[in-house]
Amino acid sequence: MAFEAYATGRYSDREVADLLNREGYRTTGNWGERKFTKDTVNRMLKNVFYLGKTKYKGEIYPGKHEPLIDQDLFDKCQEVRSRRRSKSRALGGHKRVYIFSGLARCHICSLTLRCTATQSKGKWRYYRHIPDVRGHECSAPSQFMRADLLEKQWAEIISQIQLPEDWQQQIERLASDADERAALLKERSYAIEQMRRLTRLYRDLLIDESEFRQERERLSRK
Ligand SMILES: [Zn+2]
């Protein structure tokens, strides 16, 4: 019954356990009768014992008992498991990166922009200005812009920025006060580091997947 239920692909281990418990099934083992848990169901559905086989030191041997289920059903369960696993990985592992998260603001009301992605294809990321939703007053209307375009523009801008060769001397000339100079230098180096970080981050984002795979293969051949 557990195998049949799981093979439909509609139940998780936990749901199969609930189903068995509701029907009054209990595990039999060294600790007596227990309710099923997601772990006992997980182990059971992978156990070749139900195929009439036994496992000894990692090897599978034909057992002396009759199979309780057939191979097809067993295989179907393993297939469902691997499909569920890759599905949950695809959902959970997809983290989107927003360069301007918490930084981009509306130039009128200075409210930070919200980062969202379309649910349907999950393809487009957006920065959104939504003062009304957030209970904020702003003369600029609610609007959203595509994150990839905005970030590309930004990358073009920062690639143009060049610090003058003699920026240190310039600062020294401009700021005679020692503390002020130190603060300025600190701010400047922080800005440089920020720019460097953004450029690097952006370059990483620009590399598309096929490029990434090629690169990885190239490296792994070395
Ligand atoms: Zn605004």
ipTM of the complex model: 0.94
Tell me the per-residue pLDDT of 144-155, one tens digit each, with 9 for 90 and over.
Answer: 888 888 888 887
Distance 112 CA to ligand 1 centre (A): 9
Structure tokens at 10: 């509609």
Distance 114 CA to ligand 1 centre (A): 12
Q: Give the distance (Å) from ligand 1 centre to CA of residue 113.
A: 9
Give me the residues near ligand 1 (ion), CB cutoff below 5 Å.
Answer: 106, 108-109, 138, 140
Encode pLDDT of 55-66 as tens digits. 887 788 888 888
Cβ 114 vs Cβ 128: under 8 Å? yes
Angstrom distance (rounded) from CA 96 to CA 201: 13
| Residue matched to tokens 């600029």 | 140
Cα–ligand 1 centroid distance for 153 (angstroms): 21
CA of 121 to the centre of ligand 1 (A): 28
Mean pLDDT, rounded, for 69-95: 79
Q: Element (H or E) spanning 128, and its range?
A: strand 125-129
**pLDDT score, position 98:** 79
Residue 107 alpha carbon to ligand 1 centre in Å? 6
**Residue 176 confidence (pLDDT) above 70:** no
Pair type for strands 59-62 and 125-129: unpaired
148 vs 150: CA distance, rounded Å: 6
Distance 208 CA to ligand 1 centre (A): 33
Distance 190 CA to ligand 1 centre (A): 28
Q: Which helix (H) or strand (E) holds 59?
A: strand 59-62
Sheet harboring 125-129: ordered strands across? Answer: 114-117, 125-129, 143-146
Alpha-carbon span 129 to 139, nearest angstrom: 11
Pairwise CA distance, residues 51 & 75, whole Å = 10
Which tokens hold the place of 111? 């409210």
Q: Write the DSSP string, 199-220.
A: HHHHHHHHS-HHHHHHHHHHHH
